[in-house]
Amino acid sequence: MMNRRIMFLEELNRIRHDILTMASRVEQDLGNAWDALRNNDGELAREVKASDAVVNAIQLKIEDQAAVLIATQQPVARDLRELVAIFKITGNLERAGDHTVHLAKAALKLSGEPPFHAMEHLEKMTTCGKDMIRGAVSAYLDQDTEAARRTAAMDDAIDAEHKALTKELLRLMKEHPELVDQAVRILNTSGFLERLGDHMTNICEGIVYMVENKHEEL
């Protein structure tokens, strides 16, 4: 029985390591996507798009491992909740990875400096998004629900930047109809970053469920 428990924990630790690898990849891709947008770097944008396949492969590997543990070890209580939470974590990291790809695609479509303070807002959202990815995974690895709650609260800053940018772009489109197409692209890009923050909040909710056995909307 002890050997079986040791084997279970070893497999679970491997999964945790892979989750860290997946999150680090998404965080790096988000930073690269922002650099591609800021510097109008098409080659870097294409690298981010290609990296999405790596993120997806890590997700499948983790979920396969978790499914095997559920089927063969028949975990209960805290162990089972963690394995269930793992699916939520990887699913939301994968969706966050998709949004980094959308940001990279925007870099290929947006030429020159976006009007008004768009880049300032997008940069703040990107920085906060990277912090949320790092914070959410650290909270998971540390089994720290208070850290998870603090990380989820960071989404308010992303939402505030998105709201401010939306307000500016609506005014821009009204005053300069010729810039409507560019403004819409920027608005869509901001929306991708806003949703990325939502996915990190979902992960934090999964951590609270895993540790405290309760469903809490953060």
Asked if the structure places residue 217 within a domain, the reply is no
User: Helix or strand or coil: residue 216?
Assistant: coil
Identify the band that residue 2 occupies on the pLDDT scale cut at 50, 70 and 90.
Answer: low
Asked if the structure places residue 71 within a domain, the reply is yes
pLDDT, tens only, 45-88: 999 999 999 999 999 999 999 999 999 888 888 999 999 999 99
Asked if the structure places residue 199 within a domain, the reply is yes
Asked if the structure places residue 64 within a domain, the reply is yes
Asked if the structure places residue 56 within a domain, the reply is yes
Asked if the structure places residue 218 within a domain, the reply is no
- Provide the domain limits for residue 11: 2-212
- Backbone φ, ψ for residue 217 (5° rounding): -85, 120
Asked if the structure places residue 42 within a domain, the reply is yes
User: Residues 6 or more apart from 188 whose CB is under 8 A from it?
Assistant: 102, 106
Q: What is the pLDDT of residue 111?
A: 58
Looking at the structure of the chain, the number of domains it has is 1
Gap between the Cα atoms of 170 and 162, Å rounded? 12
pLDDT, tens only, 123-153: 999 999 999 999 999 999 999 999 999 999 9
* Model confidence at 115: pLDDT above 60: no
- Backbone φ, ψ for residue 76 (5° rounding): -135, 170
Gap between the Cα atoms of 132 and 51, Å rounded? 20
Q: What is the DSSP string of 69-120?
A: HHHHH---HHHHHHHHHHHHHHHHHHHHHHHHHHHHHHHHH--SPPSTTHHH
- The CATH number of residue 15's host domain is 1.20.58.220
Asked if the structure places residue 40 within a domain, the reply is yes
